[in-house]
Amino acid sequence: MIKKLRIWLELLLLASLVLTSCATPQATTAPTNAPEESTPTEAVEPTEAESTTGSENLILATTTSTDDSGLLDFILPDFESEAGVGVDVIAVGTGQAITLGEDGNADVLLVHARSREDEFMAAGHGARREDVMYNDFVIVGPPDDPAGIKGMTDAAEAFAKLAEKEAVFVSRGDDSGTHTKELSVWKAAGIEPAGSWYVSAGQGMSEVLTMASEQQAYTLSDRATYLARSLEGLDLVILVEGDPVLFNPYGVIAVNPDKGPHIKADLANQFIDWIVSLPVQEKIAGFGMDKFGQSLFIPDSLAWRDAP
């Protein structure tokens, strides 16, 4: 009964508003939600997803590290010039990049989570996978290192000490390759991190490094992004490195063309042939040498390993 009464009251109120509107001149006032057909409107910039829909360009889903480090800006113009097409880069966490491939929303992937790449191939989502390069992960933190992990060589032991001290740790928390590696280190330490000291950011590597620097916290980063961002004044230093478990290989995968006729299989394979070729591997080897005295990524394609 109450519900029906409310409806009748709302109908009476609406009728009253309509009558009032009819009685009041409205000739010079246009409804606020009416389209202004006679007034040109500024074009809306398409989103990244919209800009790639139906595009003849190659769609590359990759990790934030290849983008944030500057590697893609360093090498991709050569491919675009050689192939005569553009490359639409979608830089996200590895998990998201793999999902884009599974859904047929990318032509080729450049990612770094080998177990997940193997699962992707085994499930038939990929048509071809090749090794490209590697670098490593490092544990970074405040220069005064209140948790006392500096110089440790066992990543799991360092994580255990961070948990013991409840030192603030900023996690990617975004299903990326870095997040996957971080979780595996916590598992090796026998710890399920939780509490106010453990911050799950749900952000890319660059943003997480900024958060850790501002909060004087610890985090796990790929070396390339850390070094690239260090040029911008991060107040963080490398504290733990060199543990073999922190090895970070990258692979390139052509998405299975069975995902649909929109998948550019020939162009994806052309990209793979190009990025694993010796000239491009040599260029990758030189990336970062001028600024850091070391390469940010180590070439690792079959052609590179087989070269004399």
- Cα(64)–Cα(179) distance, rounded to whole angstroms? 12
Number of domains in the chain: 2
CATH number for the domain that contains residue 189: 3.40.190.10
**227 inside domain:** yes
Per-residue pLDDT of the chain (308 residues; tens, 9 = 90+): 333 333 333 333 334 433 334 333 333 333 333 333 333 323 333 333 333 334 589 999 999 999 999 999 999 999 999 999 999 999 999 999 999 999 999 999 999 999 999 999 999 999 999 999 999 999 999 999 999 999 999 999 999 999 999 999 999 999 999 999 999 999 999 999 999 999 999 999 999 999 999 999 999 999 999 999 999 989 999 999 999 999 999 999 999 999 999 999 999 999 999 999 999 999 999 999 999 999 999 999 999 999 98
Q: Which domain holds residue 130?
A: 52-134+249-306
- Cα(60)–Cα(205) distance, rounded to whole angstroms? 19
- Cα(173)–Cα(179) distance, rounded to whole angstroms? 6
- Cα(131)–Cα(114) distance, rounded to whole angstroms? 10
My answer on whether 295 and 207 are in the same domain is no
**56 inside domain:** yes
My answer on whether 152 and 227 are in the same domain is yes
Query: Are 276 and 253 a contacting pair, CB within 8 Å?
Result: no
My answer on whether 264 and 123 are in the same domain is yes
DSSP character string of 114-154: HHHHHHHHHTT-EEEEEEEEEEEEEEEE-TT-TT--TT---
Give 156-193 pLDDT, tens digit per residue.
999 999 999 999 999 999 999 999 999 999 999 999 99
pTM score of the predicted model: 0.77
My answer on whether 122 and 254 are in the same domain is yes
**99 inside domain:** yes
DSSP state of 155: H
